């Protein structure tokens, strides 16, 4: 049996003393000129040039961050929009990050009925059947983000793969965007919000996937931008790892993410994407676009420091940090 995905992620967090995941969200307009040039030399087709630039950019970011952060989170949309060329860059990015020892959280927010969810689970986390009778991994992510709107039978196929292959999922519960409350905050007749109901389902889905460290391979997406809701959800799902978006470019601060952590100082991974990978475009760094990867490393180190301080101040610093 494969090692529990939550344990694998928590080990890397402890080893690097850093509960950060960096979003790999490549956008053509924001890729440094030198990378664009190299990509254009390697690939003549204008779609493949974009995809190639993403891969070169990501590899340099991964190299610069691999000793600082435990995990990366490619946002599928940015690759998918370029079709098969973009997906090739996504596959290679995920494989490269794992070769460099990072946990890979595929951010696809997938969801469908059981028969279809099985295909998503096989492709992104498990193995697919091939023409020669064998089966093999395709994306081989460690975690995948999923949407809970369809209920248990749309999630069960993911749980099956998590159990068989030592993989994990993060289920959307309370998202970071301004209008997340339109459905997620609707109160039921017991005065419980939809996000609380979703949180209870997540806790139930994760029960038989709890690892040695007490956390489940079934985690939850809980936004830094809604700290009060996060505190409630921390109680509803004590054993869930929270994937926390909204830090940095979306306005969340280190203090905002503290409620997402348990008293042991674990239980959350905080995501930052644009504020790290495009740090080279900030006032402090913009004179040296060729050093974009160093700017990213600097921003990641600064973020680790901010999280360290906020955890320390709240009395939640993990033992030994």
Q: Decide: is 112 part of the binding site for a second copy (CB under 8 A).
A: yes
Shortest approach of a second copy to residue 214 CB, angstroms?
A: 26
Reading the block at residue 193, the tokens are 């919000």
Q: Which of residues 138-167 bind a second copy (CB under 8 A)?
A: 138-139, 147-154
State the DSSP H helix or E strand holding residue 144, giving kind and residue range, or none if neither: strand 143-146
Which residues, other chains included, contact 242 with Cβ-Cβ below 8 Å and sequence gap of 6+? 219, 220, 221, 222, 230, 233, 234, 260, 267, 268, 269
Q: Which of residues 54-83 bind a second copy (CB under 8 A)?
A: 75, 77-78, 80-83
Nearest to 265 by CA among 190, 318, 187: 318
Q: Which of residues 225-284 bind a second copy (CB under 8 A)?
A: 245, 250
Shortest approach of a second copy to residue 83 CB, angstroms?
A: 4
- Total chain residues near a second copy (CB under 8 A): 76
Which residues, other chains included, contact 114 with Cβ-Cβ below 8 Å and sequence gap of 6+? 153, 154, 156, 157
Q: Decide: is 33 part of the binding site for a second copy (CB under 8 A).
A: no
- In angstroms, rounded to a whole number, what is the distance separating the alpha carbons of residues 315 and 96? 36
Q: Decide: is 205 part of the binding site for a second copy (CB under 8 A).
A: no
Nearer to a second copy, 60 or 138 (CB): 138
Nearer to a second copy, 15 or 128 (CB): 128
Reading the block at residue 108, the tokens are 């696809």
CA distances from 178 to 34, 226, 231, 252 (A): 36, 10, 18, 12
Shortest approach of a second copy to residue 171 CB, angstroms?
A: 10
Active site residues: 109
State the DSSP H helix or E strand holding residue 145, giving kind and residue range, or none if neither: strand 143-146
Q: Which of residues 282-321 bind a second copy (CB under 8 A)?
A: none
For the residues of 277-321, what is the DSSP string, one character each? HTGGGSTTTTT-GGGHHHHHHHHHHHHHHHHHHHHHHTT-PPTT-
Nearer to a second copy, 20 or 225 (CB): 225
Nearer to a second copy, 76 or 266 (CB): 76
- In angstroms, rounded to a whole number, what is the distance separating the alpha carbons of residues 44 and 39? 9
Which of 36, 59, 163, 213: binder of a second copy (CB under 8 A)?
36
Stretch that binds a second copy, among 11-19, 61-69, 172-180, 309-317 (CB under 8 A): 172-180
Q: Decide: is 41 part of the binding site for a second copy (CB under 8 A).
A: no
Shortest approach of a second copy to residue 128 CB, angstroms?
A: 5
Nearer to a second copy, 204 or 288 (CB): 204
Which of 9, 65, 85, 269: binder of a second copy (CB under 8 A)?
85
Q: Decide: is 117 part of the binding site for a second copy (CB under 8 A).
A: yes
Which of 15, 42, 47, 284: binder of a second copy (CB under 8 A)?
47
Shortest approach of a second copy to residue 300 CB, angstroms?
A: 20
Query: 275, 249 in Cβ contact below 8 A?
Result: yes
CA angle 57, 62, 65 (to 5 degrees): 125
Nearest to 149 by CA among 123, 126, 117: 117
Q: Decide: is 100 part of the binding site for a second copy (CB under 8 A).
A: no
Shortest approach of a second copy to residue 244 CB, angstroms?
A: 14
């Amino acid at each position: 049996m494969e090692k529990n995905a939550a344990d694998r992620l928590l080990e890397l967090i402890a080893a690097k003393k850093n509960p950060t995941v960096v979003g790999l969200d490549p956008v053509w307009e924001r890729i440094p000129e030198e990378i664009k040039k190299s990509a254009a030399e390697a690939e003549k087709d204008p779609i493949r040039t974009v995809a190639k630039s993403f891969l070169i950019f990501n590899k340099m970011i991964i190299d610069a961050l691999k000793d600082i952060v435990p995990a990366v989170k490619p946002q599928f949309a940015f690759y998918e929009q370029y079709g098969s060329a973009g997906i090739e860059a996504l596959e290679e990015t995920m494989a490269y990050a794992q070769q460099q020892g990072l946990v890979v959280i595929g951010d696809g927010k997938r969801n469908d009925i059981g028969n279809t969810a099985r295909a998503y689970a096989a492709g992104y986390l498990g193995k697919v059947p091939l023409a020669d009778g064998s089966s093999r991994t395709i994306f081989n992510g460690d975690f995948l983000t999923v949407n809970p709107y369809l209920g248990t039978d749309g999630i069960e196929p993911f749980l099956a793969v998590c159990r068989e292959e030592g993989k994990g999922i993060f289920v959307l519960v309370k998202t970071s965007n301004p209008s997340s409350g339109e459905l997620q905050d609707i109160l039921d007749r017991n005065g419980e919000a939809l996000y609380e109901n979703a949180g209870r389902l997540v806790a139930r889905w994760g029960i038989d996937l709890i690892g040695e460290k007490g956390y489940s391979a079934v985690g939850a997406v809980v936004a830094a931008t809604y700290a009060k809701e996060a505190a409630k959800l921390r109680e509803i799902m004590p054993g869930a790892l929270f994937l926390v978006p909204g830090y940095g470019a979306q306005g969340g601060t280190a203090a905002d993410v503290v409620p997402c952590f348990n008293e042991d100082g674990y239980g959350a991974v905080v995501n930052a994407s644009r504020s790290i990978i495009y740090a080279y475009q900030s006032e402090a760094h913009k004179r040296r676009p060729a050093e974009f990867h160093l700017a990213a490393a600097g921003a990641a180190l600064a973020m680790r420091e901010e999280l360290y301080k906020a955890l320390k101040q709240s009395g939640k610093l993990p033992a030994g940090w």
